[in-house]
Amino acid sequence: MFRRSYHTIVAIFCLMALFGFDYSKHSIPTEQIHDGGPPKDGIPALTDPEFTSGNDAKYLGPKDRVLGISINGEAKAYPINILNWHEVVNDRVGGKDVLVSYCPLCGTGMVFDAHIKGIRSLFGVSGKLYNSDVLMYDKQTESLWSQIKMEAVTGPMTGEKLALLSARHTTWEAWRSQYPDTLILSSKTGYSRDYSRNPYAGYGQSPEIYFPVDHRDNRLPVKEWVVGVVINGQPKAYSFGRLTKEKAAVEDVIADKEITVYFDKNNESAVVKDNNGNVIPSVQAYWFAWKVFYPQTELFH
């Protein structure tokens, strides 16, 4: 009996050494965790990277897309063509530690408070996917965190939530127009990458999804852009196709809360605010990605 138990323990530790993560505690079906191709840290996260002024960002064109954040009077922009190669940036904006994340397969740029249980957590890219979305890992416990689900799904931190912060997925010219003093993530990352090349070129225009997802909803094309919000536990998505047709901002009520969706057609970007004008954190995503993580979502289309 001891011998069998011993060999079982050895086998578990061998598997952990092979895959790098402990699935003994989990909140999702582990068979739905897929290898994305690159190994753990094969897509290198950036930590406290170098920034430059907007005037020096010669590597960006006006219509290049960025993920923008403004906190306590400081604005920073993270070019998508750099995030494509790194997916995770551990940074500090306006005195606040943040986790900047981007999943090219889901089109989701999301920024979170990096403090977990009061301590700054540093994150890396696990090389694994759940429902085609990046699984990040924290370097303290090596728990896996689902980006769109916004929580830890394996390891000691399973069930812990991430706090979503407001961010804007828009063009460089639109962000810089709103925040002329913004800093921009430098292309001098310390890694040899061709940031002028999009490794996912054509993916956003294709109906193909590279990795398995639980289910699909054919009310929209799988990769139509939506902006999604969750208010008091109720998710709702607003399709860009429908927002494009609206002549004014869209007023709505979700879970008894009045909101307004402002859509910038020229820059394919949306902002959600409450009736006091406060920005509500939202997620810009491909439809399939929002739907698979929030299957009960309402849809404005």
pLDDT at residue 215 in the model: 87
**Torsion sign, CA atoms 293, 299, 300, 301:** positive
Q: Which amino acid is residue 176, in one-letter code?
A: R
The b-or-e profile of 138-169 (16+ CB within 10 A means b, else e) is beebbbbbbbbbbbbbbbebbebebebbbbbb
Task: Indicate the average pLDDT of the chain.
Answer: 93
Average pLDDT for 157-169: 98
Ranges 13-17, 116-120, 261-265: which has the least confidence = 13-17
168-171: strand order across its sheet: 51-53, 183-185, 74-79, 65-71, 168-171
**Residue that the structure tokens 């598997």 belong to:** 15
pLDDT above 60 (res 14)? no
- Residue 20 confidence class, pLDDT cut points 50, 70, 90: confident
pLDDT above 90 (res 217)? yes
Contact assessment for residue 94 and residue 72, using Cβ atoms and an 8 Å cutoff = yes
Average pLDDT for 218-230: 97
Average pLDDT for 114-131: 96
Ranges 72-76, 115-119, 131-135: which has the least confidence = 115-119
pLDDT at residue 1 in the model: 42
Average pLDDT for 253-279: 97
Task: Report the run of H or E that residue 173 belongs to, with start and end.
Answer: helix 172-178
pLDDT at residue 19 in the model: 52
pLDDT at residue 40 in the model: 96
Q: Which amino acid is residue 298, in one-letter code?
A: E
List, in order of start, the domains of the chain with CATH numbers: 20-185 (2.102.10), 218-300 (no CATH)
**Torsion sign, CA atoms 84, 89, 93, 97:** positive
Beta strands in 57-186, from DSSP E residues, in sequence order: 65-71, 74-79, 88-93, 96-103, 108-113, 115-116, 119-120, 123-130, 133-138, 144-146, 151-154, 164-165, 168-171, 183-185
pLDDT above 60 (res 268)? yes
Task: Report the run of H or E that residue 231 belongs to, with start and end.
Answer: strand 225-231
User: 234-239 and 298-300 as β-strands: parallel, antiparallel, unpaired?
Assistant: parallel
- From the centroid of its chain, how far is CA 59? 23
pLDDT above 90: percentage of residues in the chain: 92
Measure the CA–CA gap between 259 and 273, rounded to whole angstroms: 6
pLDDT at residue 7 in the model: 46
Average pLDDT for 44-61: 96
pLDDT above 90 (res 232)? yes
